[in-house]
Amino acid sequence: MNGLHVAILGATGMVGQELLDVLVERKFPMTNLTLLSSARSAGSRVLVGGKEYAVEQASPEAFRGVDVAFFAAGGQVSKDWVEAAVDAGAMVIDNTSAFRLRDDVPLIVPEVNAEEILNHKGIISNPNCSTIIMAIVLKPILDRAGIKRVVVSTYQAVSGAGGRGMDELRRQTEDYVAGRELEAAILPVANEPKHYPIAFNAIPQIDVFEEDDYTKEEWKMVRETQKLFKDPSLKISPTAVRIPVMRSHSESINVETVSPLSPEECRELLRNAPGIELVDDVTEQVYPMPLYASGRDAVLVGRIRRDRTVENGLNLWVVGDQIRKGAALNAVQIAEHAYRMGAFTKR
């Protein structure tokens, strides 16, 4: 089969722009490209691999002839356009939470469950960014030693809230330095009644509060990881926090394993695991940090040490670029796998 007709819904956003970079960088087999947005950006022009493309307002006709449509414009927008795209014959790879927990939609991290891609019925979901970054590290540990329980705290970058989150941190930082009052309008959640400054702060709320006073982001980490590992009883105790970092999410992960796994064995395991780079040498003060993880494909792991309070426990510090592996790269890898598996030849 030759190249594919690719569409990106949300092409002018953080994830949409990263998708374009990743598609070009990885030489994705692409013959046509359709860039879609809302009326706000329609008509703007975007340079992709040296060629200029016009951004169009999303419409049913825009999906005609499209083989693979990456959706990155928010959950409601995905729900609004998925039928048009699938009816037009496209495989939708969705970056939002709209379909992730549906039984008929595979939720894919290629390093974890690439074989499930072919079960799709038109839609494949990319997991939540914090889920992807955690799952890629838990997978080899689960396979080797089994997992009893995970306690995870996230330190999430403002770009996780889109371009407007980054603008807010930039503006508040300038205001703080100039001694002006800080104005907050976006974080923690744009359409909630209260907003707090993120500059020089840490906000223990990402998305709205749900059952048992956990946030929606925290529940995503629980339910999506259980779906990825096909284990609805997997115990995950999450706390998700927004911090004043522009890009890349960090996670402190405490994992209690069924059988013993020493820090040395864990290092060796993760050194050889796909999608992971070991950055772990405390004698040289070497550990992962978001500033250095940004723009990187690999999820970085360090600070691996024994949890001395339980029989079989480890602590890890994990950092990943949530726009890249947490969104755009994972989505493109799904499409690459689907292409190699012949998913586009049958249509």
By CB under 6 A, the residues from 57 to 96 that bind ligand NAP are 58, 72-75, 77, 95-96
**CA-CA-CA-CA dihedral for 34, 158, 210, 329, to nearest 10:** 40
Does 12 participate in binding ligand NAP (rule CB under 6 A)? yes
How many of the chain's residues bind ligand NAP (CB under 6 A)?
28
Residue 16 or 275: the one with the smaller Cβ distance to ligand NAP is 16
Q: What are phi and psi of 50, to 5 degrees?
A: 85, -5
Q: Report DSSP letters for 61-119, one per residue.
A: GGGTT-SEEEE-S-HHHHHHHHHHHHHTTPEEEE-SSSSTT-TTS-B--HHHHGGGGGG
Tokens of 290: 């978001």
**Nearer Cβ to ligand NAP, position 136 or 327?**
327
With binding defined as CB under 6 A, does residue 15 bind ligand NAP? Answer: yes
Q: Is 226 helix (H, G, I), strand (E, B) or coil?
A: helix
Show the site string, 297-336: x = touches ligand NAP by CB under 6 A, - = not.
-------------------------xx--xx---------
Q: Considering only residues 4, 6, 7, 14, which one is a binding residue for ligand NAP as defined by CB under 6 A? A: 14
Instruction: Report yes or no: 234 and 147 within 8 Å, Cβ to Cβ.
Output: yes
By the rule CB under 6 A, 248 interacts with ligand NAP: no
> Which among 37, 234, 28 has a CA at the least distance from the CA of 150?
234
Catalytic site residue 249? yes
- Residue 301 has φ and ψ, to the nearest 5°, of -130, 135
List, in order, residues 6 or more apart from 274 with CB less than 8 Å away.
111
- Per CB under 6 A, contacts with ligand NAP among 127-186 are 129, 159-160, 162-163
CB-nearer residue toward ligand NAP: 95 or 257:
95
Residues with a known catalytic role: 129, 249
Which residues contribute to the site for ligand NAP (CB under 6 A)? 10-16, 37-38, 40-41, 58, 72-75, 77, 95-96, 129, 159-160, 162-163, 322-323, 326-327
